[in-house]
Structure 1
Amino acid sequence: MTEVNISKEEIATIYPQVAATMADALGCDADKMTPTARLIDDLGAESIDFLDIVFRLERAFKVKIPRGRIVEEARGDLSEAEFEKSGIVTEAGMVRLKSFLSEVPPEHFKSPMKVADIPRLFTVETFCKMVLRQQRAAAAPPA
């Protein structure tokens, strides 16, 4: 899997709609939305909210976002065994995760990190990047 570079300008073009969609799904004020706001820790999202957010983003942007897409893409070319062992992200997995979630401040990556805790890292910008990747994938000619 190749790393897709996404510019701040690209993020800025879709951020207002992503933020409004997420605020609506979470029932919070749009002014609480910032690119760096973490969905769980800062905005109070629960796992069921992620399904609603993804559904709404799919509708708003006319993309398909398969369940688990962010973690799958974060893993990149690493096998599952290289990425995690017994539910804990490996050292190689952590390097890959930090690179993929470059919008997340380094201090939010706790070691050891449980795979189940990866969604705690997701920010509004994480979802902007996901939408942009899905738009690019949909526009790309079939291989």
Structure 2
Amino acid sequence: MAVFPTVQKTMADALGCDEEDIELDVSLIEGLDAESIDFLDMVFRLERAFKVKVPRGKIIEDVRGDMPVEEFEQNGVLTEKGLIRLKEYLSEIPDDRFSSPMRVDQIARLYTPETFCKMIIRAQRAAAR
């Protein structure tokens, strides 16, 4: 099953907008006014649609990987290494959307539908293993 059409429909339903508004690269927060409750709703719907589990904080956890927390962030701000790791992980996001310094609580502002497509594909691969 193609991932994006389902993500697009699911997000449009959750956000109460037209499917055409959900483009791969639109910022969910800045472009579509998504709020934290919308993210919970979208993840819940995506989990149901794709029959996968997406734990809260999964993106941050995956970005950090085996990097020690203090190497990744200090006092809620990404370190230089943490920012590099984030840019690699969110490779679909243009460089100019990352700020430096970047607070960990600002990372969700970067998320796009493509970010969620990648997350679903990773979850499907993990479930298949």
Both structures adopt the same fold (TM-score exceeding 0.5): yes
State yes or no: 1:65 paired with 2:16: no
How far apart, in 1, do the equivalents of 2:117 and 2:61 lie? 16
Q: Which letter does structure 1 place at the counterpart of 2:44?
A: F
User: 1:40 aligned to 2:29?
Assistant: yes
Task: Show structure 2 runs of 5+ residues with no match.
Answer: none
Cα deviation code 1:49-82 (max 9, x no counterpart) = 1100000000000000101101111112211111
For residues 115-134 of structure 1, give each alpha carbon's deviation from its aligned partner in whole angstroms, at most 9, with x where no partner exists: 00000000100000000000
Note the residue ranges of structure 1 that are not aligned, 5 or more in a row.
1-9
Runs of at least 4 residues off by over 4 Å = none
1:29-68: per-residue Cα shift (whole Å, max 9, x none)? 1111110011101110001111000000000000001011
Q: State TM-score, norm by structure 1.
A: 0.88
Whole-angstrom distance in 2 between the partners of 1:23 and 1:98: 26
Q: Give the alignment of 1:1-143 within 5 angstroms.
A: 13-140=2-129
Query: Residues 74 and 100 of structure 1 are in contact (CA less than 8 Å); yes or no, is this contact kept in structure 2?
Result: yes
User: How far apart, CA to CA, are the structure 2 residues paired with 1:14 and 1:41?
Assistant: 23
Normalising by structure 2, we get a TM-score of 0.97
Give the letter aligned to residue 37 of structure 2.
I
1:5 aligned partner: none
Secondary structure at 2:99's aligned position in 1?
coil
| Cα deviation digits, residues 85-138 of structure 1 (max 9, x gap) | 011000000000000000000000000100000000001000000000000000
Aligned length: 129
Query: RMSD of the TM alignment (CA)?
Result: 1.0
Q: Is the 8 A contact 1:76 1:96 kept in 2?
A: no
Contact 1:83 1:92 in 2 (8 A): yes
The residue identity in structure 1 corresponding to 2:61 is E
1:47, 1:33 → 2: CA distance? 17
**What percentage of residue pairs aligned between the two structures are identical?**
59
